Structure 1
Amino acid sequence: MTLECYVAICLPLRHGELCTTRRTLHCILIIHGLSLLPVTVILSVFFISAPPIYYSIQRVCSMDMFVFLKWQDNVKLVLYQVYFLAMAATICFSFIKIMKAARAASREDKKSEKKALRRVSLHGFHLLLCLVQLWCPFIDTAVLHISITLFIDVRVSNYILFYLSPKCLNPLIYGLWDEKILQALKKKFLSWRQEKE
C-alpha cells in the first residue's frame, strides 16, 4: 500500500505502467509467501520433533505452544525483526519522498500544503499501527510469563488497537475528507441531536 501510494504521488506518469494487475498479483503472492515462511518453519519443526505426549497437554492457545526448542524461538525472533526492519525502512523511505512531493506540489498554497501534509501524516500513522502488529507476538509472549489474565487482556487490547483499528481508520479517514459524506454525517448528527432535545 505504501509503495503504491509512493508510485501514484512521486511517479504519476509511470503509475499505469508500474501498477498493473499482473504486477499487483505478483506482489500479493510474494507478500503471502514471505508471511507464510515463519509459520511454515515453526509448524514443520513442531510436527517433526514434538513427542506424542505433547499433543495431549492442555496449554494456552498461543504461538509459543509450538515453540519448544530454543533455536525455534531465535529463528522466529530474527524473522519478525527482519520483516519489521524491512517494512519500517520501506514506509520511511516512501513517506519521506511523498512528504517532499506533497510539499513541492503545494508550495504556493499554504492551506493546500497543510492539508496534504496532514493527510499524509494520518496515512503514516495508520501504517504505523499496522507495523506494530509485528511486535504483538513478542508482547503476548512476555506477558504470558507474568499472568494468564493479563495475557488475555493484553491480547484483546492488541487485537483491537493494532488489528481492528487500522482497518477501520482507513475508510474513516477517506470518508471524512469526502465533502458529501462529511455533510451527510453533519446533517445526521444535527437531526439526531434535535431529536434528543
Structure 2
Amino acid sequence: MVCVIYCYRVNINSCLNVIVMNAIFITIICLLIFTFFKKDTFKYKTRYIFFAHTLLTDCLFLIMTNNLLLLTYFKVTMPAVACVVFCVLMSELTFVTPLTLTAMSLERYVAICMPLRHGELSTRRRSIHCIFLIHSISAIQPMITVSIFFASVPLSFYEQHKLCSAEILIAHNWQRHLRSAINQLYFLIMVITIVFTYVKIMAVAKEASSDRKKYSSKGRTTVILHAVQLFLCLIQLWCPFTEAAILPIDLQLYIDVRFFDYIVFILAPRCLSPLVYGLRDETFFLALRHYVFCGWNYRITL
C-alpha cells in the first residue's frame, strides 16, 4: 500500500513539474509571438517570419504532447479515432520544427554569403511559400503511415479505446522500417544542409573585413545553435523505436522512458528557440523588453 502511494505521488510530482515547465515555456512563447505581431518590421523580414512560425508550431506541439503525456501518465485511454488524429498532427509538427530550422540556416547563408541577392530572395511572399512547402514535406511521412493504417485495420478498431501512442499507427512491422527510412532521409538532407551553410559561412568569415567578420561570426554561431536544436529534434524521431521495444516488457518503465524523452528531446530543443532569436537578437530583445515592461523607460529603434 505504501509503495502504491509512493509511486502515485512520484507520478503526480512528475506531472506537476511538466505542467509548470510547459506553462513557463508557453508563456515565454506567447510573449515572443505577441512581440512579433506588434511590430510591422518583423512581419517583413524572413528570419523573423520563420522564427514566429517555429514559435506557433512549438506552442501547438507542446500543448498537444503535454495533454497526451498526462493521459499516458495516468493511464487514461481515449477513442482510437481521436488518438489517430492526434498522432497524425503531432507527427507532422515533429518534422515542421527541424525543417524550419533548416530553412532559417539557409536564410542566414543567403544573408551572409549572397548579401546582394538577400533582399530579392528573402521576401515576405517567398517566406510564406516556403512555410507551405515545409508543411507539405512534413505531411509526407504521416500521410503514408496513416494511409497504410486505414487500409490495414478493421472498422471495429475505431470503436475501441486505447492508451494513445505514436505506435498505434503501426499495423505492420515493415511500417517501422519504412518510417525509419523516411526519417533517415529527412535527417540526412537536413544535416547536409546545416553542414553546407556552416562551411560556407566559415569561408566568408575568414575572408571578410573586421566589421563584416563580426556579422559573419554571429551568423555562424546562430547556425551552430540551430544545429544543436536540430540534433535534439531529430533524436526525437528515434524515440518511438525505443519506446515500442520497452512497451511489451514493462508498462511503468515505458511511461518513465516517455517522460524522459519528452523532457530531453521535446521540451529542451524548443527552449532554444527563444534563446536563438528572442534573447540573442538585439532588435527583437529590445522589442520584447519594451512590451514586458509595458514600454516603461525603453525606446525601440527599428
Same fold flag (TM > 0.5) = yes
Q: Residues 38 and 168 (structure 1 numbering): CA distance in 2 closer, same or farther, change over 3 Å?
A: same
Q: Residues 138 and 8 (structure 1 numbering): CA distance in 2 closer, same or farther, change over 3 Å?
A: farther
**Contact 1:9-1:98 at 8 Å conserved across structures:** yes
Deviation of 1:57 after TM superposition, in Å, equals: 5.0
Deviation of 1:124 after TM superposition, in Å, equals: 2.8
- Matched AA of 1:84: F
5 Å-filtered alignment, 1:1-197, equals 1-56=104-159, 58-105=161-208, 118=221, 120-174=223-277, 175=279, 178=282
| Gaps in structure 2 of 5+ consecutive residues | 1-103, 290-302
Deviation of 1:100 after TM superposition, in Å, equals: 2.3
| Gaps in structure 1 of 5+ consecutive residues | 185-197
TM-score (norm 2): 0.51
**Contact 1:95-1:124 at 8 Å conserved across structures:** no
Indicate the percent of aligned positions where both proteins have the same amino acid.
45
- The total of aligned residue pairs comes to 182
CA distance in 2, matches of 1:112, 1:90: 21
CA distance in 2, matches of 1:132, 1:68: 23
Deviation of 1:15 after TM superposition, in Å, equals: 0.8
Deviation of 1:52 after TM superposition, in Å, equals: 3.3
**Contact 2:233-2:265 at 8 Å conserved across structures:** yes
Deviates more, 1:156-165 or 1:137-146: 137-146
Relative contact order, higher structure (CA 8 A, sep 6+): 2
CA distance in 1, matches of 2:213, 2:110: 24
- Matched AA of 2:117: R
- Per-residue CA deviations over 1:10-47 (Å, capped at 9, x if unaligned) read 11111111122222222212211121112112222222
- Matched AA of 2:110: V
CA distance in 2, matches of 1:115, 1:36: 33
Q: Secondary structure at the match of 2:240?
A: helix
Q: Secondary structure at the match of 1:68?
A: coil
CA distance in 2, matches of 1:21, 1:110: 27
Q: Residues 110 and 66 (structure 1 numbering): CA distance in 2 closer, same or farther, change over 3 Å?
A: closer
Deviation of 1:126 after TM superposition, in Å, equals: 2.6
**Contact 2:232-2:269 at 8 Å conserved across structures:** yes
Q: Residues 12 and 54 (structure 1 numbering): CA distance in 2 closer, same or farther, change over 3 Å?
A: same
